[in-house]
Amino acid sequence: MSKHVLGIIGGSGLYDIEGLTGAEWVTVESPWGEPSDDLLVGEISGTKVVFLPRHGRGHAVSPSDINYHANIDALKRLGVTDIFSLSACGSLKEELPPGTFVIVDQFIDRTFARKKSFFGKGLVAHVPLSHPVSSWLGDIAEDGLKAQKVPYARGGSYLVMEGPQFSTLAESELYRSWGCSVIGMTNMPEAKLAREAEIRYATVAMVTDFDCWHPDHDSVDVQMVIKTLLDNADKAKALVKFLADNINNRDSEPNCGTDTILDMAIMTAPEKRDPALVAKMDAIAGRVLKG
């Protein structure tokens, strides 16, 4: 069995990947509710791959309505150790035109209508998030984009807005003044929950538009996003195959601590823990709660 189990969260069209064998859609029951969709489980070059359509097949789930908790819990239950998130985003920088792929290394979370932790009353925990993505996974993604000769940028901050509406011009200019690189609606609380689940996480943002700030480009609309997404689809699928081909052939990752992040995070004394919440956390935190 492969050491790393690769989870892919992305658009519904990405599961049609060359070399994916033994593919089967699997229904995963989660105590956190229903995931966005069934999960596609298969294998590429000996690596187990689990694909989750973030918005469900047919894009039926709005960013604010995604059950991020159930999605991460379902991936954890299927043994996923590493998540690559592929996301359509708007660019906030002139040097990142549509068609560019950005290997994100930071997030600014401006969402406000989403529960952001598995933990809560009766089981309190605080995980560090200063470096929210795995640079080791980013290295693999960068090699894959180089191999395809895809225009890309390494590093950049992803501003996560609530949506589902696109930005106002004032908002777009504000985020540009903060130095953000891209803007999207889906990577929070996804990245935070992956950290709490002790799963390494990386994001490749696929730029589809210039949001609404660029004076020489029309404001973003759905048709613009879909056109660029279709143009990027083959590149994204090739990147997924490269990740699966290579993730288990790399030198071991330097100790980033993600897979043991809960060792020093849980604050609530055992006798004060809520048994019902502890039971829901069997997949996410069972490693540290069983004792």
Of residues 238 and 223, more confidently modeled: 238
Q: Flag whether pLDDT at 18 surpasses 50.
A: yes
> Which domain CATH number covers 153?
3.40.50.1580
In this prediction, what percent of the chain has a pLDDT beyond 90? 81
pLDDT in tens, 239-285: 999 999 999 998 766 667 899 999 999 999 999 999 999 999 999 99
The answer to whether position 1 is within a domain reads no
Rg (CA), the chain: 18
Domain total of the chain: 1
14 in Cβ contact with 236 (< 8 Å)? yes
- Using 50, 70 and 90 to split pLDDT, how confident is the model at 233? confident
**Per-residue exposure over 82-91, b if at least 16 CB sit within 10 Å of its own CB, e if not:** bbbbbbbbbb
73 labelled as ligand-binding? no
55 labelled as ligand-binding? yes
Residue with token string 């189990």: 5
Active-site positions read: 209, 211
Model pLDDT, residue 79? 98
The answer to whether position 79 is within a domain reads yes
211 labelled as ligand-binding? yes
The SS3 assignment for 209 reads strand
Model pLDDT, residue 219? 61
Q: What is the average pLDDT across 78-90?
A: 95
Model pLDDT, residue 226? 67
Of residues 125 and 230, more confidently modeled: 125
Q: What is the chain's mean pLDDT, rounded? A: 92
177 labelled as ligand-binding? no
90 in Cβ contact with 220 (< 8 Å)? yes
186 labelled as ligand-binding? yes
90 in Cβ contact with 209 (< 8 Å)? yes
Q: What is the average pLDDT across 107-126?
A: 98
The SS3 assignment for 31 reads coil
The SS3 assignment for 98 reads coil
The answer to whether position 267 is within a domain reads yes
Structural domain containing residue 238? 6-289
Whole-model pTM over 0.85: yes
Q: Flag whether pLDDT at 52 surpasses 90.
A: yes
Q: Flag whether pLDDT at 13 surpasses 70.
A: no
54 labelled as ligand-binding? yes
Q: Flag whether pLDDT at 12 surpasses 70.
A: no
- Using 50, 70 and 90 to split pLDDT, how confident is the model at 1? very low
Amino acid identity, residue 174? L
Model pLDDT, residue 16? 79
**Separation between Cα atoms, residue 5 and residue 166, nearest integer Å:** 34
Q: Flag whether pLDDT at 228 surpasses 70.
A: no
27 labelled as ligand-binding? no
Q: What are phi and psi of 92, to 5 degrees?
A: -110, 10
Q: What is the average pLDDT across 167-185?
A: 96
12 labelled as ligand-binding? yes
36 labelled as ligand-binding? no
Model pLDDT, residue 17? 82
Q: What is the average pLDDT across 162-179?
A: 94
The answer to whether position 179 is within a domain reads yes
